[in-house]
Amino acid sequence: MKLNFSFKIYHLAALVGTVLFICTLQYNALSSKSQKLSSGKKYQARDLEAVLQNLGEQKDFSPWKDASKIVTDEQKFALLDKKANSDEDLKVNEKLWMDSKNLMKGHWLTHPLTAGKLHIFYLTFPTADEAKHREIIRQHHKEWKQNSTGIIPISYRFVTLKISDKPTMAGIMHENDQFDDIIVTATMFNSQKDRKNVLLMNEAMKVAKKFLFDDFPIITKDLAQHQVALFCRSTDIINLKEIEHTIAQMNGPAAKVSNMISFGPKKPYGVNFRMIAQDYLVTPISELLGEDKTHSIHHHSITRVTPMTCGYKIMIRCDKLGDYSDLLDDAWEDVKYSNNTEEILKLFTGIIRLQAGIQAVTPNSFSHAILTLPFENAEYNSKYNVDVMKKWALDMKPPAVMKHEIPPVYMKNIESLDDKDDKYKRVRTDLIRDTPECPNEPVLALITTSRKNFDERNLFRLYRESIKQTPQNPYYKDIPMLFLIGLPGANENVNVTKRLDLEIKEHGDFIMGGYEDKYDNLSFKTLSAYDYVVNHCKGQENPKRIFFQDDDSFLVVDKVTKMMQNSTLAPITCLAGFNDESRPFRFGKYNLTFTEWETGYWFPSFCAGPCSAMERSTVKSIYDTAMKSQELSFKLEDVFFTGVLRQKANVKPPADMTSNKICDHLGSKNAIAQRLERYVAHTKNESLSMVLNEYLPYKRKEVIKAKIPEYANKQMGIDTKPEIVNQPDENHAENSL
């Protein structure tokens, strides 16, 4: 009996040993195969077209042989993997991903190949409200799947945390039984608002690694380099076509070092939303540990660093995902007791990112790729219910079902100017109340301004005066400038009204409209500019071209002169932004309701508001169309005039000259003042320099100091040096160029 038992144990041990030996052989074989590329057989294609062309020239291996059967990106990359793992060397090097400007145009490809597949991981919390968000996401993906061809292959999953509330947890499990798209982690949900985001970020990374490399069919290292993972919130609606442009940013010049793209909030860490924050991790690492001081951060014991950081919404190349996930998980064990979530996030996207071999972060430059619904905004939650937000989400329709025509409401016309049903009759007949004579010059700049923007207007006048006083430059031609303003509102400050009245009398360069001066009347203000050109410049040869600009934009005079020498200019030229196949925003400052712009319609091609130019005959065509159109009130005046009314008037789409930098949208009077330094310096006029110094932020203190009476300066112990005011800082002016 004892012997029989020992014999069974012996056989069992032998069986286990055999299984382990076979597994070891299989593992070594797989490991050898996966390491082939890094041992001299690695292909790094300049672009995929070159690789496939190279493959096509090989005997008995042509991807063009049966093109009709090659449909998916997995199959395309399988061809590359087959050759990459063979004994022959492709002899192609440089970067692996192709540049987005050099996309492959093979006859068997139906769309630009920027990646093999996109894996989306939606970070969602285990609450009742989030179930509504997930429902919207599913409907969005369903519509795109039914109505889209030629988009990148996509998989998506929701990642959420475990929760102690049994009914809620049961609801999530029931939802997953129905849709099979939710992954619940073993980590318990923490309701602290900021902390839960970094917690879920770490868990989502682990889930992604497990999903892609462990539990499911393993993607090879080759394919991983051509696939990307996107981590975002369940409040994010993704434009599944625009996201390809975002992915293509990984293909550009920075592809060798930047394998992460950030979709941060509008102002991450206090910088512009198009930038990545570069900041000090001012909190010592030891303080991140919170109450539990027994842990230590072995791999990142630096107390002050300056890496680039970003938010938790990121896109990462899949071949970088494994190492990054492991390092994040290790770091989380050290900082999970800390409440300083902002610094933890900087640690995750800064130091840990660098340790994972991701040397840089690229900010997403395609703002329409992801639309974040304002579910977490209290203001919107009080005004709108989830059904309204669902309409906003489903408005992100696939391109195949979008229409290029103008919505029918804007094609309607009034019968005549005496039409009794015309709700804009007073506007049409009272567009302009006071105006100067039309300048008889080739160029005319009409500047949209607010009544209270005194400094901006004075800077433009200073700019024009400095151009006049620099006759030695043949390209410095005078540009007449007129300002568009409306009537004061009921709540306008009395001092603003009085000061503006004096300014009008002194300069006489205002086109005064008969509408109230407010943002929603921008279409009326723009129409008054068209009215001025058509009716007040009638009978004279000039101006030939009209420039429409905002008072925070800057026309570069020498480039304008060179532009006017071009005899082949398009009727409309966009100087500070061109938009084609754009969608309306449904919330925020630039929102349009579904009544104002029907769902399913593209905006016509148009020039962005800050700056555009138009030949005089085109101004008249659009003006005539506007004056007979039934609808005139449209808050996005740039879309309305250079898009809707232009297309209705059968004027050709605008030409994009944004890259010529003829007009810069500077955004503030301080930036305009700094740009003026070079022009004022060329005049060598001290009085103009003194005027400009009052507007320069780094000169203003010196100007004020010089204006203080001498006896007051002595009482305060200040050494008065008024000569500072009279001497423009030529070094700074030169450096600012």
Supply φ then ψ for residue 602, to 5 degrees. Answer: -70, 155
Name the maximum alpha-carbon separation found in the chain.
121
The highest-confidence range among 289-298, 302-311, 324-333, 555-564, by mean pLDDT, is 555-564
Domain 117-260+312-339+356-379, CATH number (from 1.10.3470, 3.40.50, 3.90.550, 3.30.450):
3.90.550
Q: Residue 341 and residue 346: Cα distance in Å, rounded?
A: 9
Q: What is the pLDDT of residues 232-253, one digit of tens each?
A: 999 999 998 888 888 877 755 4
The predicted structure's pLDDT at residue 434: 87
> How, if at all, do strands 663-665 and 553-555 pair?
antiparallel
Could you tell me the CA-to-CA distances from 72 to 75, 113, 131, 317 in Å, in that order? Answer: 5, 11, 32, 19
Query: For 408-665, CATH number?
Result: 3.90.550
- Tell how far CA 20 is from the center of its chain: 53
270: region left, alpha or beta (phi > 0 left; psi from -120 to 50 alpha): left
357: region left, alpha or beta (phi > 0 left; psi from -120 to 50 alpha): left
- Tell how far CA 500 is from the center of its chain: 37
**Poorest-confidence range of 375-389, 597-611, 664-678?**
375-389
- Of 263, 281, 442, nearest to 369 by C-alpha is 263
Going by pLDDT thresholds of 50, 70 and 90, the confidence category of residue 290 is: very low
Residue ranges, CATH 3.90.550, the chain: 117-260+312-339+356-379, 408-665
Going by pLDDT thresholds of 50, 70 and 90, the confidence category of residue 164 is: confident
pLDDT at 725 over 80: no
Going by pLDDT thresholds of 50, 70 and 90, the confidence category of residue 305 is: very low
CB 449 within 8 A of CB 551: yes
The predicted structure's pLDDT at residue 499: 95
Percentage of residues in the chain having pLDDT higher than 90: 39
**SS3 (DSSP) at 9:** helix
- Burial call 505-540: b when 16+ CB within 10 Å, e when fewer: eeeebbbbbbbebeeebbbbbbbbbbbbbbeebeee
**Poorest-confidence range of 393-397, 491-495, 544-548?**
393-397
Mean pLDDT value across residues 1-21? 57
Q: What is the mean pLDDT of the chain?
A: 75
**Poorest-confidence range of 262-271, 426-435, 520-529, 562-571?**
262-271
Could you tell me the CA-to-CA distances from 50 to 93, 98, 106 in Å, in that order? Answer: 10, 10, 11
pLDDT at 678 over 80: yes
Q: What is the pLDDT of residues 324-341, one digit of tens each?
A: 999 998 888 888 777 777
Q: What is the pLDDT of residues 181-205, one digit of tens each?
A: 999 998 887 666 567 888 889 899 9
pLDDT at 646 over 50: yes
Q: Residue 288 and residue 599: Cα distance in Å, rounded?
A: 48
The DSSP bridge partners found for residue 158 are 122, 182
pTM above 0.85, yes or no: no
**SS3 (DSSP) at 155:** strand
